[in-house]
């Protein structure tokens, strides 16, 4: 009898421990399908599910308004761990860019941990009459007032990078917002827009196939992947101090139970050790996080430092949306 009761107690505990997730988990990506944030999420979903009772992990693309619509959706979702958010640096830039954000960055989310850091590239349509950054600079000078610069909306990484690029060049361009850089890339491939900054995870394949032109990387260090190693940095190309590198993090609605937060954090840590995931990410120029920012609290501190870093630059540029 005692043995039976013990077995029932163990089963009950085990039942409690594995109760989450008891249905598919949705990761909201606040940008269009097929873009860089979406690609990270889809790769991550495959490995994350191993730590989530092997439940299906569904990606839901909620693009628009530079990632703020998707983030707002998760902020308001049921805090049970079945709706998560994979966001990028926009988590830190949107507070300065939007006068009224539809969520509170610091208080509406549980910070689950950081995923990766991804440099960006300055790319252009293949028909641009420039083979390198020096030639691009001449073309930009000769075409002031006529240049289109694509981005994924106010608050997106491409917007931030494009903003700094225009400031550093002292040239105003017409910015063309999309719901993510996947549709922007389609138009860049079609020659409807001239230039874009985008994560290496999205541009590497297109650069390799020669369908777009790459002029520089936006980090302060050159990159080492075979496709990107030949590109100069914007800093060494004359735009002194230019440095935009982005990152991705995972979030849940505020109030998600601690046991669930801990389980997703453990699943994330394991996912980031998966050799196939690491290989795929590194081939595209991404660097997997291995430091303290894997912990939710440390990641939150990092986001706060990014808010402090970018806020003044964005405000100085006078960029706001209501």
Residue 154 binds ligand ASP, judged by CB under 6 A: no
Residue 199 binds ligand ASP, judged by CB under 6 A: yes
In this chain, which of 57, 156, 173, 314 binds ligand ASP, going by CB under 6 A? 156
Residue 37 binds ligand ASP, judged by CB under 6 A: yes
β-pair partners for 120: 199
Q: In whole angstroms, how close is the CB of 205 to ligand ASP at the nearest point?
A: 14
Q: In whole angstroms, how close is the CB of 201 to ligand ASP at the nearest point?
A: 9
Q: In whole angstroms, how close is the CB of 178 to ligand ASP at the nearest point?
A: 8
Q: In whole angstroms, how close is the CB of 284 to ligand ASP at the nearest point?
A: 13
β-pair partners for 87: 249
In this chain, which of 45, 157, 227, 314 binds ligand ASP, going by CB under 6 A? 157
Cα-Cα end-to-end distance for the chain: 67
Buried b (16+ CB within 10 A) or exposed e, 302-317: bbeebbeebeeebeee
Residue 181 binds ligand ASP, judged by CB under 6 A: yes
x/- letters, 96..135, toward ligand ASP (CB under 6 A) = ----------------------------------------
Rounded to 10°, the helix 36-48/258-271 angle is 100
What's the per-residue H, E or C state across 101-117?
A: CCCCCCCCEEEEEEEEE
What's the CA gap between 308 and 236, in Å, rounded? Answer: 26
Grouping H, G, I as helix, E, B as strand and the rest as coil, residue 60 is strand
Residue 164 binds ligand ASP, judged by CB under 6 A: no
With beta carbons less than 8 A apart as the criterion, state whether 60 and 29 touch.
yes
Q: In whole angstroms, how close is the CB of 59 to ligand ASP at the nearest point?
A: 12
Candidates 153-161, 249-257, 285-293, 306-314: pick the segment binding ligand ASP (CB under 6 A). Answer: 153-161
> Quick one: DSSP state of residue 291?
S
Nearer to ligand ASP, 37 or 233 (CB): 37
Alpha carbons within 13 angstroms on the beta-carbon side of residue 297 total 2
What's the CA gap between 227 and 193, in Å, rounded? Answer: 23
Interface residues with ligand ASP (CB under 6 A) are 31-32, 35-38, 88, 151-152, 156-158, 180-182, 198-199
């Amino acid at each position: 009898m005692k043995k039976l009761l013990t077995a029932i107690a163990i089963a009950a505990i085990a039942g409690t421990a594995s109760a989450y997730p008891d249905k598919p988990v949705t990761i909201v990506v606040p940008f269009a399908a097929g873009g860089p944030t979406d690609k990270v999420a889809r790769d991550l979903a495959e490995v994350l599910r191993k730590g989530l009772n092997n439940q299906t992990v569904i990606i839901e693309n909620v693009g628009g308004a530079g990632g703020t619509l998707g983030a707002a959706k998760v902020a308001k979702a049921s805090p049970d761990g079945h709706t998560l958010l994979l966001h990028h640096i926009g988590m830190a830039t949107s507070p300065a860019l939007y006068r009224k954000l539809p969520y509170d960055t610091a208080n509406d989310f549980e910070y689950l941990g950081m995923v990766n850091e991804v440099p960006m590239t300055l790319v252009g349509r293949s028909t641009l009459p420039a083979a390198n950054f020096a030639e691009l600079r001449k073309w930009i000078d000769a075409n002031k007032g006529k240049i289109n610069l694509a981005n994924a909306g106010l608050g997106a990484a491409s917007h931030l990078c494009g903003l700094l690029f225009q400031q550093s060049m002292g040239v105003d361009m017409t910015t063309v917002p999309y719901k993510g850089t996947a549709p922007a890339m389609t138009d860049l491939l079609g020659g409807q827009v001239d230039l874009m900054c985008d994560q290496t995870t999205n541009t590497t394949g297109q650069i390799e196939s020669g369908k777009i032109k790459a002029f520089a990387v936006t980090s302060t260090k050159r990159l080492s992947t075979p496709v990107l190693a030949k590109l100069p940095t914007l800093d060494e190309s004359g735009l002194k101090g230019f440095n935009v590198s982005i990152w991705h993090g995972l979030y849940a609605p505020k109030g998600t139970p601690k046991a669930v937060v801990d389980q997703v954090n453990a699943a994330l840590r394991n996912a980031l050790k998966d050799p196939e995931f690491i290989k795929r990410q590194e081939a595209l120029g991404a660097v997997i996080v291995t430091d303290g920012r894997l912990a939710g609290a440390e990641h939150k501190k990092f986001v706060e430092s990014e808010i402090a870093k970018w806020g003044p630059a964005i405000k100085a540029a006078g960029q706001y949306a209501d």
